[in-house]
Chain A
Amino acid sequence: MSAARGHAGGRVVSRSIVKVRDLVKDFHVTRGRGGPPAVLRAVNHISFDIQAGTTLGLVGESGSGKSTTGRLLVGLIPASSGEIELFGETITGGAGAPALAKVRSKLQFVFQDPHGSLNPRMRVGDCIAEPIDIAGGWSRGDRNDRVSELLETVGLPRAVAERFPHEFSGGQRQRIGIARALALRPDFVVCDEPVSALDVSMQAQIINLLLDLQEKLGLSYLFIAHDLAVVRSIATDVAVMYAGALVEQAPKTVLYSAPQHPYTQALLEAVPRPDPDRVRSAALGGEVPSILNPPPGCAFAARCPQAMDVCRVDRPAPRATGEGHVVACHLY
């Protein structure tokens, strides 16, 4: 079909299963009732790749555009401009719809809220089998075998298929959500804050489960989270977003040990550590700027302790500063 060219190109060039180039998402809103129209730029010209079998951790505070990016990536919402290539198929632009249809079965999504994302009136087995039922073509026996297999994969006893979601704890419900995401054997899973609603003692269980599944099934993840420590425990590479822009990306160890962007540095410094002897430096002032009709220049300039005149005028372009290390900052 029309997307066949993209497919061949993707296979030749690299093993990136996700390629994002200059992606933009605008939401059109009105300010106040009957107010003037405004543009909310949730995602502002971002580019990144995800290699097969790896995890890109996408971190940022509220309103940074990280969840919007996740939704764009699996085609839940259309991009305003830019390009998304998944498994060699370009799902944006004119031929995007048929291309997305071709790769859709390889994509899945795990949501933050394990309470809100499971239908309370469906038995757990039916929740998990819903993607199978929608895809069609499975016999009743195969379907039920697959549900049992999935439950085992996520560490739940088979018998829970007959019970209802409300009978389970948050951690168990997240296991059910993961089982459902795996039903059609996806290759790429977007996990949007999958452990942030969970207690600490449950978080580690789910993180370890996601790591085990990646090893066993060769999955690739986009792991979206606001918690930098959680991201360190699961990611291969990390990308940091601020007010719609991707300010820094690097292999995990590099990003945490030698962050370059002043925002990444401030963010890492602000995280309270379980170490009473540590003295944190004074908090970064100011708040995240409005992304309604954003000012020119760097989005972080107003809060940046190292801001220069150029930062308020010119938007810094992403620059490679090392192996896999890209920073959008005029300091580099």
Chain B
Amino acid sequence: MTRSVRLAARQALLEQRSFWRSAEYALFTFAFPLMILLLIGAANVGSYLPGTHVKNTTVFVPSILAFGVIVAAYVNLGSKVAVLRHDGVLKRIKTTPLPSAAYLGGLLASTVATVVLITACTGLIGWLAFGAGPRPGGLPALTGGLVLGIVCFATLGLAISSVITSAESAGPIAYASFLPIAIISGVFDPTFGGLPQWMSRMVAAFPVKALAQLMQGAYTVRPFPAWDLVNLALWTAAGAGFVAWRFRWHS
């Protein structure tokens, strides 16, 4: 057991080194959420949510935290695993005595490290630029949101990797499968609303808004997010089921 943990940690270190070695990839992973944070954040300075005393940025910054989690856990991990499978790296791992759990554990640990870094950057810049920080006593909610977000979206990332058949399409498919939902979920626009009923039902069914609202709960007081928690749990279960059914070590 300890050996597996040690091996996973080593794998994670190698993954992180490789991640930062492809500078443009790492930069893009970080720059995309940060750019959106700064640009759209600046456009919302001084505005309040209609009929409240809650600043737009207080809701917007945690939404971008959720966005960062999804980029790192879903898009990056999903496309990474698809490329590893396509390149035959996963198959090669199967020729060694390394336990599968230790290898996947290493990939996940590296993903967690990326998520923590991206969250720290986004949170810090959101606080410095817009004065939006977690509310007093909001840290447990933030931590809980991060953990659930990583678990849910990393599982969905592994699931989507099994659908992607070529290395070239890995990134585009991963992004295209969540960006439209992120937009209609109002991740990029705190005042986004007035959707037709069928569309708001759809938004409520997907896990993007659920995670955004969990993160918002760390910044402003919200009612207990029962549905958001159930939503993420259901998506995690569905993703895990799909992974168990379709995950392959070779293409």
Instruction: Verify that A and B bind, or say they do not.
Output: no
